[in-house]
Amino acid sequence: MEPPIFDTSEPTVLLGGADFDPAALKLAFDLAPNLVAADSGADSAIRSGRMPDAVIGDFDSVDPASLAQIPRRRQHRVREQDSTDFEKALSRLAAPLILAVGFTAGRLDHELAVYNALLRYPEQRCIVIGAQDICFLSPAALSLTLPESSRISLFPLAPCRVSAAGVKWPLQQQEMAADGLVSVSNQVQSAPVRVQVTPRKLLVILPRERLKAAVDALTQTAL
- Mark whether 119 and 146 lie in a shared domain: no
> Is 146 found in the same domain as 126?
no
Q: What range does the domain containing 23 cover?
A: 6-131
pTM score:
0.95
Of 90, 111, 131, the domain-final residue? 131
Q: Give the model confidence (pLDDT) of 95-146 as tens digits.
A: 999 999 999 987 899 899 999 999 999 999 999 999 999 999 999 999 999 9
16 and 120 housed in the same domain: yes
60 and 156 together in one domain? no
For residues 86 and 125, membership in a common domain is answered with yes
The number of distinct structural domains making up the chain is 2
If asked whether residues 127 and 19 sit together in one domain, one would say yes
42 Ramachandran zone, left/alpha/beta (phi>0; psi -120 to 50): alpha
On the question of pLDDT at 57 being above 90, the answer is yes
Please give the Cα distance from 11 to 30 (Å, whole number): 10
Nearest in space to 133 (alpha carbons), one of 218, 42, 37, 203:
203
Nearest-CA neighbor of 82 among 94, 74, 91, 73?
Answer: 91
Q: Give 222's DSSP letter.
A: -
What is the arithmetic mean of pLDDT over 146-168? 97
CATH code of 192's domain: 2.60.120.320
Look at residues 131, 163, 184 and tell me which one is the last residue of a structural domain.
131
Contact 38, 16 (CB under 8 A): yes
Q: Mind listing the pLDDT tens digit for each residue in 63-75? A: 999 999 999 999 9
Please check the confidence at residue 189 and state whether its pLDDT lies above 90: yes
Q: Kindly state whether residues 43 and 123 are assigned to the same domain.
A: yes
Residue 208: what pLDDT? 97
Quick check: 222 pLDDT over 90?
no
Residues 68 and 23 in one domain: yes
Same domain flag for 107 and 160: no
